[in-house]
Amino acid sequence: MNILICAADPADKALSAFAARSFPAAAPHEIVADAAFARTFRKKAPGAFVYFDAGLGRERVIELASKLDEVECRGWGVLDRKGETGDPAAYFFAGAGDYVGAALFKSGFGPGRFDEALAFSGPPGDAGPDESAAAPQGARESFPGWTALEEGAAIAVRFCYAAVGRQKELLERIGEKRLDKLREDFAAFLESWSKECGGILWIRETAGCLLLFPPLDEGMNPVLAAFRLLLDRALIGYEVFKLEVPLSFRFAFHAGRTTWQRPGATGKIVSEDVNFAFHLGSKAAGDGYIVASSEAEKAVPASLRDLFSAAGDFEGRTLVASRRFKD
| Averaged pLDDT for residues 91-105 | 88
Side-by-side strand order, sheet with 29-33: 29-33, 3-7, 49-53, 75-79, 98-100
| 174 shares a domain with 72 | no
Lowest-confidence region among 60-69, 131-140, 199-208, 234-243: 131-140
pLDDT of residue 127: 36
pLDDT band at 232 (very low <50, low <70, confident <90, very high): confident
Kindly tell me if the per-residue pLDDT of 266 is higher than 60: yes
In-domain check, residue 251: yes
| 141 shares a domain with 86 | no
301 vs 63: which has the higher pLDDT: 63
Kindly tell me if the per-residue pLDDT of 133 is higher than 80: no
pLDDT band at 114 (very low <50, low <70, confident <90, very high): confident
pLDDT of residue 327: 54
* Of residues 287, 151, 261, 120, the one with CA closest to residue 203: 261
Kindly tell me if the per-residue pLDDT of 134 is higher than 70: no
In-domain check, residue 327: no
In-domain check, residue 127: no
Q: Which of the given ranges, 226-230, 244-248, 280-284, has the highest pLDDT on average?
A: 280-284
Grouping H, G, I as helix, E, B as strand and the rest as coil, residue 240 is: coil
What CATH number corresponds to the domain at position 34? 3.40.50.2300
Kindly tell me if the per-residue pLDDT of 125 is higher than 50: no
> What is the CA 192 to chain-centroid distance, rounded?
18
Residue-wise pLDDT for 298-312, tens only, equals 889 887 888 898 999
Residue-wise pLDDT for 31-49, tens only, equals 999 999 989 999 999 999 9
| Averaged pLDDT for residues 218-222 | 86
| 112 shares a domain with 140 | no
> What is the CA 44 to chain-centroid distance, rounded?
29
Could you tell me the pTM of the whole model? Answer: 0.68
Lowest-confidence region among 53-57, 181-185, 261-265: 261-265
| 193 shares a domain with 273 | yes
pLDDT band at 138 (very low <50, low <70, confident <90, very high): very low
pLDDT band at 201 (very low <50, low <70, confident <90, very high): very high
| 299 shares a domain with 152 | yes
Mean pLDDT, the chain, as a whole number? 87
pLDDT of residue 23: 87
Q: What is the span of the domain harbouring residue 262?
A: 132-322
| Averaged pLDDT for residues 11-34 | 89
pLDDT of residue 118: 81
Count of H-run helices and E-run strands, the chain: 10, 12
320 vs 130: which has the higher pLDDT: 320
Burial (Cβ within 10 Å: 0-12, 13-18, ≥19) of residue 206 = exposed
Number of domains in the chain: 2
Q: Are 224 and 304 in contact (CB under 8 A)?
A: yes
| 289 shares a domain with 173 | yes
| 220 shares a domain with 142 | yes
Kindly tell me if the per-residue pLDDT of 163 is higher than 60: yes
Domain C-terminal end among 66, 89, 121: 121
Q: Which of the given ranges, 76-90, 172-186, 235-249, 300-314, has the highest pLDDT on average?
A: 172-186
What's the rounded Cα separation, in Å, for the pair 226 and 243? 20
| 172 shares a domain with 91 | no
Grouping H, G, I as helix, E, B as strand and the rest as coil, residue 32 is: strand
Per the DSSP assignment, residues forming a β-bridge with 76 are 50
pLDDT of residue 139: 46
In-domain check, residue 81: yes
pLDDT of residue 143: 82
| 198 shares a domain with 242 | yes
Dihedral sign of CA atoms 226, 227, 232, 234 in order: positive
Domain C-terminal end among 121, 143, 158: 121
| 232 shares a domain with 92 | no
Domain C-terminal end among 121, 147, 165: 121
What's the rounded Cα separation, in Å, for the pair 158 and 149? 15
152 vs 25: which has the higher pLDDT: 152
pLDDT of residue 264: 82
Dihedral sign of CA atoms 37, 75, 309, 112 in order: negative
Kindly tell me if the per-residue pLDDT of 137 is higher than 50: no
